[in-house]
Amino acid sequence: MGARVLILGGTAEARALAAALHPAPALSVISSLAGRVADPRLPVGEVRIGGFGGAEGLARWLAEERIHAVVDATHPYAERMRVAAVAAAAAAGVPHLRLERPGWFAGPGDDWHRVTGFAAAVTVLPGLGSRAFLTTGRQRLDAFAGLRDMWFLARVVDEPGPLPANFTVLRGRGPYTVDGERALLDEHRIDVLVTKDSGGPLTVAKLVAARERGIPVLMIDRPAAAAGAAVVTTAEAAAEWVRQSVG
Ligand code: NAP
């Protein structure tokens, strides 16, 4: 069977890593998804779906499944899994690596306002505009629901729960083009963009369109890194680490 590797996934980098390691006769790769999205993009190879039951559950799973190495390639804003992965790998005595794409950087012409967390974003937002394009995902839309004097265009992958009447929901999943994002900003008379610092090329077009239109960007900073994790930023580097870790 060869060495067994767990990729904690849900990102383009995780799928790229699974592809980079596939097929390898001496390696058995299992990608794990949380099961949050109804119709997830699947990586090549074996996939399991659903939580493990915290760090303890994951440590148990790693031991039972005789996993030799773990790559946590979850999203930069998946706060809990990164911490659980470090603890579980340590408890199970399994080498661990974090694969995380770099964040975005503001350049000439950008008007970015960085805040730490959603509560700060809600406080700052009304001072930046009144018609917001919200691209921060379905899970935290409720944070903005109290801003009754603003209008929101909320782009989400899956249908969210009930929202106030000042929200319009747009279903979508990247990659997006600058032409498409520019058209959205114009059509809805957007005057402020709210985004996470997700990084990567798939969803960067909105930032280019905002720059072109002179629209301010409210950028919610990344959560802190998990202590004690070695980090790489590309699937290629992670694949190399896997090969070396499992010999
Ligand atoms: P999270 O807050 O770190 O995780 C919440 C719980 O979901 C974890 O405690 C774990 O449950 C389970 N989980 C998370 N990632 C998992 C994985 N890859 N495999 C199995 N279980 C997983 O994460 P989240 O922000 O809810 O994100 C969930 C998933 O969506 C992740 O896979 C992430 O890569 C992906 N994603 C997140 C975002 C985002 O903005 N947060 C964006 C795009 C994709 P147990 O404690 O039961 O193990």
25 compared with 63, residue with greater pLDDT: 63
Task: Report CA(33)–ligand 1 centroid distance (Å).
Answer: 7
Closest approach atom of ligand 1 to CA 58: 48
Distance CA 140, CA 119 (A): 10
The β-bridge relationship of strands 27-33 and 96-99 is: unpaired
pLDDT at 5 over 90: yes
Task: Report CA(75)–ligand 1 centroid distance (Å).
Answer: 8
**pLDDT-based confidence at residue 1 (cuts at 50, 70, 90):** low
Q: Whose CA is nearest to atom 15 of ligand 1?
A: 34
- What pLDDT score does 49 carry? 97
pLDDT tens digits along 163-222: 999 999 999 999 999 999 999 999 999 999 999 999 999 999 999 999 999 999 999 999
pLDDT tens digits along 91-102: 999 999 999 999
Predicted structure pTM score: 0.95
Q: Whose CA is nearest to atom 34 of ligand 1?
A: 74
Query: 218: helix, coil or strand?
Result: strand
pLDDT tens digits along 65-80: 999 999 999 999 999 9
Distance CA 69, CA 19 (A): 17
Tokens of 3: 């060495």
Report the C-alpha dihedral over residues 184, 195, 120, 13, rounded to 10 degrees.
160
- What pLDDT score does 171 carry? 96
Pocket probe for ligand 1: among 32, 36, 65, 86, the residue whose CB has the most ligand atoms within 8 Å is: 36
Under 8 Å between Cβ of 245 and 69 = yes
